[in-house]
Amino acid sequence: MSESASGTINYLNHDKSIKSWLLTLDHKRIGIMYLIAVSLAFLAGGILAILVRIELMAPGETIMSADAYNQSFTLHAVLMIFTFIIPAVPAVMGNFVLPLQIGAKDVAFPRLNLASFYIYVLGAVIAMAALLVGRIDGGWTFYTPYSTSVGDGILFVTTGVFVMGFSSILTGLNFIVTVHKMRAPGLTWNRLPLFIWSIYATAIVQVLATPVIGITMLLLFLEKFMHIGIFDPALGGDPVLFQHFFWFYSHPAVYIMILPAFGIISDLMGTFSRHQVSGYKFVALSSVAIAFLGFLVWGHHMFVSGQSATSSVVFSLITYLIGIPTGVKVINWVSTMYRGSVQLKTPMLYAIAFLFTFSIGGFTGIMLGVLAIDIHLHDTYFVVAHFHYVMMGGNVIAALGGLHYWWPKITGKMFNEKLGKIAAGLVFFGFNLTFFPQFIMGAQGMPRRYYDYLPEFQGYHLLSTYGSWVLAAGLFLILGYLLASLINGKKAGLNPWGALTLEWTHTTTPPHPHNFLETPIVTRGAYDFHLAKELFATGEEVSEVVTSTH
Amino acid sequence: MGDKGVFWLPDAMSTFAGEVDALFWFVFWTSTVLFVAVVAAKLYFMFRYKRRDETSVPDPVHESKLLESAWIVVPTLLVLFVFIWGFDVYLRMNTAPPDAYEITVRGKQWAWEFEYAEGVTTFTEMYVPVGRPVKLVMSSSDVLHSFFVPAFRVKQDLVPNRYSSVWFEATQTGEFQIYCTEYCGTAHSAMLAKVVVVSEEEFASWITEQSQDLPPVELGAQLFAQCALCHAVDGTTKIGPALNGIFGTQQKLTDGTSVLVDEDFILESILNPAIKVAEGFQPIMPAGYSGMTPKQLDGLVAYIKSLK
β-sheet bridge partners, residue A65: none
Question: Given a cut of 50, is residue B127 above it in pLDDT?
Answer: yes
> Up-side HSE of residue A83: CA atoms within 13 Å toward CB?
29
Residue type, A473: A
pLDDT classification of A544: cutoffs 50, 70, 90:
low
pLDDT at B4: 43
Instruction: Verify whether the Cβ–Cβ distance A304 to B155 is below 8 Å.
Output: yes
Q: pLDDT tens across A162-214, in order?
A: 899 999 999 999 999 999 999 999 999 999 999 999 999 999 999 999 889 88
Contact between B283 and B277 under an 8 Å Cβ cutoff? The reply is: yes
- A11 within domain boundaries: no
How many domains are there within chain A?
Answer: 1
HEC assignment per residue over A162-206: HHHHHHHHHHHHHHHHHHHHCCCCCCCHHHCCHHHHHHHHHHHHH
Mutation to test the B interface, candidates A144, A241, A334, most B Cβ within 10 Å: A334
Rg (CA), chain A: 23
Q: pLDDT tens across B15-72, in order?
A: 999 999 999 999 999 999 999 999 999 999 999 999 998 888 998 888 788 888 888 8
> A186 vs chain B: nearest CA distance in angstroms?
21
Rg (CA), chain B: 28
Question: Given a cut of 60, is residue A281 above it in pLDDT?
Answer: yes
pLDDT at A545: 66
3-state secondary structure of B165: strand
- A541 within domain boundaries: no
Q: Which of A424, A453, A426, A425 is nearest to A438 (CA)?
A: A453
Please state the ipTM of this predicted complex: 0.91
Strands B101-108 and A490-491: unpaired
Q: What is the extent of the structural domain holding A304? A: 30-536
- A545 within domain boundaries: no
Q: What share of chain A is helix, strand, coil (3-state, %, to 5)?
A: 70, 0, 25
Region A219-236: mean pLDDT is 88
Comparing B181 with A221, which gets the higher pLDDT?
Answer: B181
pLDDT at A172: 95
Residues A418 and A346: their CA atoms lie apart, in Å, by 8
Sequence ranges of the domains in chain B: 17-48+59-94, 101-211, 216-306
pLDDT at A548: 46
Q: pLDDT tens across A47-93, in order?
A: 999 999 999 999 989 999 998 999 999 999 999 999 999 999 999 99
pLDDT at A6: 43
Q: Using CB atoms, pick whichever of A306, A372, A450 lies closest to residue B164.
A: A306
Q: Does B187 touch chain A (CB under 8 A)?
A: yes
- A320 within domain boundaries: yes
Region A375-383: mean pLDDT is 96
Q: Does B117 touch chain A (CB under 8 A)?
A: no
Residues B7 and A172: their CA atoms lie apart, in Å, by 46
Q: List A residues 229-248 in contact with B (Cβ-Cβ < 8 A).
A: 233-234, 236, 238-240
- A266 within domain boundaries: yes
Q: CATH: 3.40.50.2000, 1.10.760.10, 3.30.565.10, 3.30.460.10. Which one for B216-306?
A: 1.10.760.10
Residues 6+ apart with CB under 8 A from B236: B242
Share of chain A above pLDDT 70, in %: 97
Region B100-105: mean pLDDT is 95
pLDDT at A547: 53
Window from A18-22, A28-32, A430-434 with minimum mean pLDDT: A18-22
Contact between B200 and B132 under an 8 Å Cβ cutoff? The reply is: yes
Q: How many CB atoms lie within 10 A of CB A224?
A: 15
pLDDT at B183: 95
Q: List B residues 140-169 in contact with A (Cβ-Cβ < 8 A).
A: 142-144, 146, 148, 150-151, 153-157, 159-162, 164
Q: Does A278 touch chain B (CB under 8 A)?
A: yes
Q: Residue A323 belongs to what H/E stretch?
A: helix A309-336
DSSP-H helix ranges across B95-199: none
Contact between B241 and B234 under an 8 Å Cβ cutoff? The reply is: no
Q: Which of A107, A14, A95, A9 is nearest to A517 (CA)?
A: A9
Q: List A residues 139-158 in contact with B (Cβ-Cβ < 8 A).
A: 139, 143, 145-146, 149-150
Angle between helices A239-273 and A280-293 (to 10 degrees): 170
Question: Given a cut of 50, is residue A1 above it in pLDDT?
Answer: no
Please give the CATH architecture assigned to the domain spanning B101-211: Sandwich (2.60)
Q: Using CB atoms, pick whichever of B59, B151, B183 lies closest to residue A139.
A: B183
Measured in whole angstroms, the distance separating CA A169 from the mean position of its chain's CA atoms is 16
- A452 within domain boundaries: yes
Give the number of beta-carbon pairs within 8 Å between A and B. 259
Residues A352 and A349: their CA atoms lie apart, in Å, by 5
Q: Specify the CATH number for the domain of residue A503.
A: 1.20.210.10
Instruction: Verify whether the Cβ–Cβ distance B45 to A372 is below 8 Å.
Output: no
Mutation to test the A interface, candidates B79, B140, B194, most A Cβ within 10 Å: B79
pLDDT classification of B6: cutoffs 50, 70, 90:
low
Question: Given a cut of 90, is residue A154 above it in pLDDT?
Answer: no
Instruction: Verify whether the Cβ–Cβ distance B55 to A538 is below 8 Å.
Output: yes
HEC assignment per residue over A113-178: HHHHHHHHHHHHHHHHHHHHHCCCCCCCCCCCCHHHHCCCHHHHHHHHHHHHHHHHHHHHHHHHHH
Q: Using CB atoms, pick whichever of A143, A328, A445 lies closest to residue B71.
A: A328
Contact list in A for residue B177 (CB cut-off 8 A) is: 445, 454
Q: Using CB atoms, pick whichever of B19, B91, B143 lies closest to residue A149.
A: B143
Contact list in B for residue A301 (CB cut-off 8 A) is: none
Q: What share of chain B is helix, strand, coil (3-state, %, to 5)?
A: 40, 20, 40
Q: List A residues 318-347 in contact with B (Cβ-Cβ < 8 A).
A: 320, 323-324, 327-328, 330-331, 334-335, 337-344
Residues B291 and B293: their CA atoms lie apart, in Å, by 7
- A4 within domain boundaries: no
Q: Which of A468, A462, A472 is nearest to A441 (CA)?
A: A462
Backbone φ and ψ for A245, nearest 5 degrees, come out as -60, -45
pLDDT at A24: 94
Window from A156-160, A198-202, A346-350 with minimum mean pLDDT: A156-160
pLDDT classification of A225: cutoffs 50, 70, 90:
confident
Region B273-298: mean pLDDT is 81
